[in-house]
Amino acid sequence: MTFNWTNLAASAALTLGLAAGAQAQTLRVAHVDPDEWTASKKGAAAHIFKNIVEGETDLTVELFPAGALGNETELVGQVQEGLTQVAIVSGAMSKACPAAGVLDIPYTFSSATIAWDVLDGDFGDALAQHCLEQTGLRTLAYGETGFRNFTNGTREIRTPADMQGLKFRVQPIPLYVEMVKGLGGEPTPIAWTELPNALSTGVVDGQENPVGVIYNNGLHKLQKYMTLDGHVYAADFIVISDEFFATLSPAEQAVVAKAARVAGNMGRSIQQWGTAEGVNKVQEEGMQVYAPTAEEIAMFAEKAQPAVVEYLRGELGEDAVWIDRLQQAVAAAN
């Protein structure tokens, strides 16, 4: 029997080519939170995303937690450049898609459930589409970083009048500077890494962060009072490179989208649990916690919102329409 080695070689090459084409793709998923899923909202979201995608497709998911690939701004850029496929980010999204910054208007959401209704509804879909067109990043789902609250070491804060004369560390973001100014406090932009020393030495009197961040970083040991005013609700964006998403089969796209929605809800659940646990723990360790009444929250909103909205309208230009769209969506949800 005579073998046709040329045809055999060609057949082998074709088989190898098909195998290479069918080789499962890998999704790199990055975020800046710890990897411990029971305490980290982004960590929990990333793990559930990986488990679902790998369990229902031939795709491989590699996790890069704790800023292993860079800060949030860098992660957004990496996904846009195709170096990383998926990122879970919060504040950095508004740098790439300015319209996302409207979510930071203080005292917009009266509860987490209202925020979920808005983000998981028509407004969230429309914002995701807008940001996709602006950035090439597809928002698969929204997670949660949580409500931010004020702490200080001087006195209990029940109304904006109690903030007069107090210096608060804020992120170096103009929106937060305008918010604290409107409330009567003195905003002091300080890097996160310098915050403990600034509180210890009296450079600032207080700061603002979600409860879990305050407790897990020991800031409650440097402050005596916490006010659960929930001035800003911070959402997580689970984003994927739209260019990469288009390379997936329809079945893979469906699983990835589903996994992201479950991941976002997992992050929300961990965040809610961490907040409740954190409030109990800081109180057990001596911190005084005050929850303002609805009337008192209205006083905070009346002072803080105008300056921030005015600032955002000037910054956003034509995108300022998203301020009105958000307010309409929140009114409908309420």
Q: Please write the tens of the pLDDT for every residue from 103-152.
A: 999 999 999 999 999 999 999 999 999 999 999 999 999 999 999 999 99
pLDDT reported for residue 9 = 40
pLDDT reported for residue 23 = 52
The reply to whether 242 falls in a domain is yes
Domain count, the chain: 1
Q: Which two tokens stand for residue 302?
A: 């009346």
pLDDT reported for residue 38 = 83
Containing structural domain, residue 125: 25-267+277-333
The pLDDT tens digits of the residues spanning 286-327 come to 999 999 999 999 999 999 999 999 999 999 999 999 999 999
pLDDT reported for residue 14 = 36
The pLDDT tens digits of the residues spanning 148-203 come to 999 999 999 999 999 999 999 998 889 999 999 999 999 999 998 999 999 999 99
The reply to whether 160 falls in a domain is yes
Q: How many CB atoms lie within 10 A of CB 67?
A: 15
Handedness of CA 176, 326, 238, 21 (dihedral sign): negative
Q: Summarize the confidence of residues 223-252 as an average pLDDT.
A: 98
Q: Return d(Cα 80, Cα 96) in angstroms, integer.
A: 10
The reply to whether 10 falls in a domain is no
- Confidence (pTM): 0.90
- Residue 160: CATH number of its domain: 3.40.190.170
Partners of residue 167 on adjacent β-strands: 186
Are the CB atoms for 261 and 197 separated by under 8 Å?
Answer: no
Q: Return d(Cα 251, Cα 257) in angstroms, integer.
A: 10
pLDDT of 270 > 90? The answer is yes
Query: What percent of the chain shows pLDDT beyond 70?
Result: 93
The reply to whether 154 falls in a domain is yes
pLDDT of 43 > 70? The answer is yes
The reply to whether 4 falls in a domain is no
Q: Summarize the confidence of residues 273-286 as an average pLDDT.
A: 96
Are the CB atoms for 260 and 46 separated by under 8 Å?
Answer: no
Q: Which two tokens stand for residue 118?
A: 């808005």
The reply to whether 8 falls in a domain is no
The reply to whether 12 falls in a domain is no
The reply to whether 284 falls in a domain is yes
